[in-house]
Amino acid sequence: MTAFELLLFSTDPETVSRHTEAGVDGFIVDWERIGKETRQAGADTEINADTPEDLRRVRAATTVRLICRLNQTGPWTPGEIEEAVAGGADELLIPMVRRPAEVQEAIRLAAGRCGVGILVETLDAVRHAAELARLPISRAYVGLNDLSIERRSPSIFGALTDGLIDGIRPFFSVPFGLAGLTLPEGGRPIPCRLLIGEMARLSCSFSFLRRSFRRDMTGRDPRVEIPRLRAAIERAGRRSAGEIARDRAELVETVAVAAGAVAGPEEVS
């Protein structure tokens, strides 16, 4: 595997500073909330309320990559892009993408001042994946929660096991990511080690550190735990073909069992 980026959702300057020292590659400030509460009603998701001031505060606390997730495109997008650029964002993430034209407009508005990445988390984005991949985007991330809601899937991990992600992965040559990571021995209902293995199989080059990571890190030193997580990712990239097949089979079985055991979408690690 090539170098793997770990991107932490955080607006706390102390947390940002500690994790910068520990080797986290970047931080995400999350402005996405328009329509999200209604769209994700009943799902186990995280809806943040980060602000432009949060973005500026994180920028002051770190020199590594700073990413701002905007709201889905709308009349507010030009203003959000200007505010994100002014606040020091190195990159934007556009959620709930449906058509290439909306991404092209965001790229035009960014005007080379920062990267523009996309979240593939709608059925329209899946259908247009080849066209989206040809745009000058900085990265693509598959949002399993929203994708499972649109697909009415019993498990947010269904797209990992039913061939959907395998079908769109070859289109993207930019950094590609999905799901989220926590400590190697953590993760529920899908063990993190299986998600790490799947990311390695799909040649992913980044992932997010979110709720599960923050919860599992309580009382732990990121200078110890981030290298442990990186070591697990590196080991997954060195597996034999037989080990990859074994881990893939275990993932498929675990997702099927979890889907039958829960009433609604699970939390992504």
Burial (CB count within 10 angstroms: exposed 0-12, middle 13-18, buried 19+), residue 177: buried
Q: Which residue in 199, 227, 181 sits closest to 21, CA to CA?
A: 227
Residue 260 pLDDT level (bands cut at 50, 70, 90) = confident
pLDDT mean across residues, the chain? 92
What does the alpha-carbon distance between residue 116 and residue 113 come to, in Å, rounded to a whole number? 10
* Predicted structure pTM score: 0.89
Q: What pLDDT digit, counting tens, does each position of 42-69 carry?
A: 555 556 789 999 999 999 999 999 999 9
Q: What pLDDT digit, counting tens, does each position of 69-102 carry?
A: 999 999 999 999 999 999 999 999 999 999 999 9
Radius of gyration, CA atoms only, the chain: 18
What does the alpha-carbon distance between residue 13 and residue 17 come to, in Å, rounded to a whole number? 6
What does the alpha-carbon distance between residue 179 and residue 268 come to, in Å, rounded to a whole number? 6
Domains and their CATH numbers in the chain:
5-261 (3.20.20.60)
